[in-house]
Structure 1
Amino acid sequence: MKSVDYVVMWSNTKLKPGFKQWGLLNIRKFKHKRCDSTLAFELARFDHRLGEAIVEAVTKNEKIVNVTKLSTQFDRLILEPLQKHQQDLRNGGSIVIIVDGLDECTHSDCADTDYCGQLLQLLVDNPFRLFPFVRLVLASRPEENINRMLTAQKHIVAFTLDISSDETRDDIKHFLEHKLSEVVKRHPESEILELCRKNNAVDELSMRASGLFIWVSTVVALVTNYPERLKDIMDTATPKNAPEALNILYKTALKSVAGEVGDADIQADIRSVLGRIMAANSLPCTPGEAPLTPAILNGSFKGSSNRATRVLEKLWSLVRKDDGRLSLLHKSFDDFLIDDERCPREYCINMKDHLLDWITICTKYFIHFLEENVDHPCPEDSGAAFHRFVMTRVAGGLDDHAPEVSSAIDAPDADVHC
């Protein structure tokens, strides 16, 4: 096989599978929207010499962490530390970096920085070409922009992973048993593992997963505190392939959540909460932007102060909170919700509507703030987080939606936090 710098592993569906560990000397695995800063952090943890060099780079120029030009950050925080200790690192053996979910890394929090384009161009430019002891393994769904930019490069070899193999099915079963045993360790009173064994659910769920580790993680999260949901999942039709497996799972999850609340309006609230999370994370923002937190999400709803909270309490198996920031569990769930051919009408997300919703909320708040002519709230004030969120996003998308926002502002019943 020819010498290559990167290996791209495509999933043979639109969904990426899991990995087994590789038998190489040093393996680091990371997954984050800003994979440049995450890689620097992981390299610093991996080798103290790299850690010291990275700390030195940040100490000399603290603003480097806020630079939006990816190549500049990559040079200062990753390539220069590698260059400084190149000989010692080379003598230590190969360093294999696994990026699990390149398609998720290319979804920037701030669209106006074109982080996706910058990251892909960086990979095209082969930044590790001067460091032959470094190898990069990229796992990704074969999204069009990634496929177009990377597969034609001579230093990259791309191939499809088979998620239907016997090895993958065995891994899925082992992974499911491991996740269930973790639940029992955290919650000794939980009967979910015994319930699964009693109903032969481990084998049944492993088959239904269709080779998808994210399917297993989602199911375990769904049933951990709600064992009655296991029957809902087991009663569904056996999927024919991986995409159908996720379609059935997400439909069942949403139906179960709505049915447990027993509220006729809950479907609309679920759609609003999920839509606002997706839209908030796609809005252009300014440096220092405030992340979308549960409190800010609550503040965006008019009237009841816990409207979003009661929905989130049921949705934590489908929504995650990283460092306080709300996002959906997995990109495949985003894709499901915006596809009207896959998602039930009552939950389907129209991103334009929800973007307009957020822009209107932010604009109405901003106008109210100016009219009241009051000081910015202190950091410890209850509304400070919502205020900062609005101020870093109020201009996002306004140029594209000015007429609609103008009409919405005149509507007296629009949600707004004031």
Structure 2
Amino acid sequence: MVAAAFFFSRNDVSRDKLDPLVASIVYQFSKSPSLWRVLGPRILDTIRSDPRIFETAFENQFQKLIVEPCSEVESALWEELPNVIIIDGLDECVDHLSQERLVSTVRKVITSHRTLIPWIFLICSRPEPQIRDAFTNFNDCLESLDVNSSEKANKDVEKFILDRFANLRKRHPALRHESELWPSKATVDQLVARAQGQFIFAVTVTKYIDTRDERPQDRLDDVLRIYVKAGSTSPYSDLDLLYLHILSQCQKWDQVQPILRLIRTPHRRPSMEQTYGHMNWRSCTRIEDLLGRKRGEVAVLLSRLHAVLHIPDDDSDIEIAHASFTEFLSDTNRCAHYHTQEIPDSEYDDCVATLLLRTLSLLTPFYPHSQMRSALTTSFSSWINTLRDHWSKLTRDSFQYWHDYCVKVNAPSMALLTALNGVDPYCLLAASLYYNFVPCRSHIWQRVVNWAENFGSCTNEFIAKVNIYMQGYRVAFPPEIPRQEAVWQTFEIQASFDDDPSASHDIAAFCREVYGIDKKYIPRRSPILIIFPVDNGILGDWAEVTCTKDDQNTMRDILQVLRWMDLHQRKLLLDDIRKDTCGSVIPGQFETQSLVRMKQLVKKIWEALLLGHDGYVLPHYSFMNPSYNTYSSGPRTNTVMSPILLPPANLGRAMDLPEVEASSPNSDAKSFYTASDLSDTEHDAFIPETPMLVPDDGNSPLTTSCEITPPVIVPANGQKPQGSDSGKRKVSPNDGSPATRTFKRLKWFTVSDES
């Protein structure tokens, strides 16, 4: 019984190498209840002990996941278990050394006296020299069957030919009046003899005859006429002569050959390219894109090659029907002037890069370049519609990989240089954000600029645009975008200046603690905005903010400082930014000038996006004052807790706060809680910047500066909070004295003007 099977195919990048073989076999073991019952626990233990085992060498995978688990099974159990592993098309494994490694590994399993595993390996392959040599040391445990020269193989080929002709007579209109005697027995015998047990000859002949633009009878006569008679000095075999005849039917060989070159060339992915959402790079549509052909041209040009090519009706890849045709095209002694080689790496990368850049350039004419409000409304609507209509896998790959292919090209073509100079980095950034792609970061742009500088004045236009873009740009948000959302998006966009994409979590915490904006409650939707050069602006009610490389350097400094600061220092820094103090300055570690730059960045974004919008105000924040940043240096005095911040009257929703105790400033616990620290229940509650306690006895709220949680929500009209469930809360005043009082456990509640 068959336990597992693996089929190599040089036309399939997922099956043309040795890497996936063991994983495929193990997966098939798992689908066999009888095998998995005895092998499963052992295999799973191995994977748990080494989760990255499938990244190790093939020999190690085979030993650990197949040989060792099977060796532990009692011999008696094998009598009832499947024990045949089929490996078909070994010659289709593109690496010859891998072919030999596989055969050698199987030989060790079969011939070793230490592993009494009753496996039967059925390996099917064309008799390539390196494969024949690899089987020489199997001793008496090897049985071979030459299917080409056996009488049974000839019988199989004859049956195949007769079945194909019978099917053709039933459905082809030109054969309507032919009897079952067509073709004659002599003709069939001749075809069988010429096939020499090889199905590829029989398949190619019958596919060549099966055509609509000529009579099958005439095509069969063509095949019979190219028969190589005994004693002929022709260097070509029957199959080669058949291939030559098929190619001779192509009336536009000069246009067909570039297509065959592309089909022969495997698509080379960038090293970081993901395998999900795989695009068919050898479909008719994609070949037309790569070669600049009109829609439908490829199918027409290849219409006479259906005997040697699989040309699907959908957008799947075109494939060469058999490896023998690929080998034929590669050998000038066999194919003469039809010699067709693969495309060299640099030339192919040039071809792909040009296509990707041209795909991106399709968006540029629709990008709103006008900053006049009257023209912007119409052009912006057209731009959004264009983005929706242009989404495709090709669009995705164009945004993500154009730069990877460009920098691999040694001598760019004029087509690639023209496409490169047409790049609009502002349009690319706005579109990539809409599609939720990772924007090109500074190091990627710099990498392409460094490459482009090698080609003199041909790339000056591209280099000049990118150098200006990399210094900064203006981001414009339409009126319908909430300003809190615009703040979050601004920091996300600004991060593209940085080479570290891992700062998103830190930025989220910063926005939450400084602006009271929680990422959790920012809608998950495509950012709809426009990116302009810094010196441009929009007239009207759009919100605008500049993002510069210096701003991101400042933001990076903020995040780095927050990482190494302890809880108390972090609170001092955030308070300094809010209140324009300087208690966090540490000479030699965190200087005053760095703090000033941080404050300027925070205030700039607040003024551009929050001030006066949507009723969003931050009472008691010092940067509302025009004199912000004009303070005199000196330590901040910690005396009295700042007044509680009252929320707008329409915020709040009922939910219990968690049971959390306050902690001292030196502990690792958070000094105050925000919405993201609570449950995932949907709510829009306001979180005060400063904690507050309401005693059970109804006295005034505790105002001694302390570290305590949870925070308190109070109504906008100043009424007492609702609450229940008295309980102990530990309070650690800043003066170090102990204090324990009983306070209510507060609840969230709906706040309104009537409350």
Return the TM-score normalized by structure 2.
Answer: 0.40
**Which sits farther off after the overlay, 32-41 or 169-178?**
32-41
Q: Give structure 2 stretches of 5+ with no counterpart.
A: 10-14, 368-385, 420-755
CA distance in 1, matches of 2:168, 2:56: 40
1:252-401 equivalences under 5 Å are 252-256=245-249, 258=250, 263=251, 266-281=252-267, 283=268, 286=271, 287-288=274-275, 290-294=279-283, 295-320=285-310, 324-345=316-337, 347-351=338-342, 353=343, 355-367=345-357, 381=390, 383-385=392-394, 388=397
Matched, 1:208 2:201: no
SS of structure 2 residue aligned to 1:350 = coil
User: Which of 82, 87, 102 lines up with 1:99 in the alignment?
Assistant: 87
Counterpart code for 1:301? L
Distance of aligned partners of 1:247 and 1:118 in 2 relative to their CA distance in 1, 3 Å threshold: closer
Aligned 1:72-221 pairs, distance under 5 A? 90-92=78-80, 95-104=83-92, 106-107=93-94, 117-118=97-98, 120-126=100-106, 128-129=109-110, 130=115, 132-147=117-132, 149-152=134-137, 157=142, 161=146, 163-181=148-166, 187=171, 191=175, 197-200=181-184, 201-221=187-207
* Alpha-carbon offset, residue 272 of structure 1: 1.6
8 Å CA contact 1:291–1:324 kept in 2: the answer is yes
Aligned pair in 2 of structure 1 residues 270, 121: CA closer, same or farther (>3 Å)?
A: same
CA distance in 1, matches of 2:96, 2:177: 41
Report the residue type matching 1:199 in the other structure: P
Specify which structure has the higher proportion of helix. Answer: 1
Secondary structure of residue in 2 paired with 1:344:
helix
Say yes or no: does 1:229 pair with 2:219: yes
Deviation at 1:82, TM superposition (A): 5.7
> Which amino acid is the alignment partner of residue 169 of structure 1?
N
- State the partner residue of 2:424: none
Q: CA deviation at 1:84?
A: 8.6
Q: Which moved more, 1:176-185 or 1:64-73?
A: 64-73
Instruction: Give, in whole Å, the separation in 2 of the partners of 1:373 and 1:38.
Output: 42
Q: CA separation of 1:42/1:308 partners in 2, compared to 1, >3 Å: closer, same or farther?
A: farther
What is the CA distance between 1:252 and its match in structure 2? 1.7
Deviations 1:287-316 (A, max 9, x none): 415343422222212141222122344433
Identity %: 18
Alpha-carbon offset, residue 70 of structure 1 = 4.2
Alignment partners' CA distance in 1, 2:118 and 2:177: 44
CA RMSD, 1 decimal: 4.8
Change (3 A) 1:364 1:66: farther
Count of residues in Structure 1 that have an aligned counterpart in Structure 2: 363
Letter in 2 for 1:170: K
Match of 1:251 in 2: 244
Counterpart CA distance in 2 for 1:233 and 1:398 is: 49
Q: CA deviation at 1:333?
A: 0.6
Counterpart-to-counterpart distance in 1, 2:311 and 2:29:
24
Which residue identity lines up with residue 248 of structure 1 in the other structure?
A: L
> What is the rounded CA distance, in whole Å, between the counterparts of 1:85 and 1:379 in structure 2?
58
Give the match for residue 8 of structure 1: none
Task: Report the alpha carbon displacement of residue 337 of structure 1 after superposing the two structures with TM.
Answer: 0.5
> How far apart are 1:336 and its partner, in Å?
0.3
**TM-score, with structure 1 as normaliser:** 0.67
CA distance in 2: counterparts of 1:284 and 1:144, whole angstroms: 31
After TM superposition, the structure 1 = structure 2 runs for residues 5-44 of structure 1, keeping only pairs within 5 Å, are 26=2, 31-33=7-9, 34=15, 36=21, 39=25
Change (3 A) 1:378 1:39: farther
Q: Give how far 1:150 is off.
A: 4.7
Any conservation in 1 of the 2:59–2:105 contact (CA below 8 Å)? no
Give 3-state SS (helix, strand or coil) of 2:237's partner: helix
Aligned-partner Cα distance in 2 for 1:239–1:391: 57
Which shifted more, 131-140 or 329-338?
A: 131-140
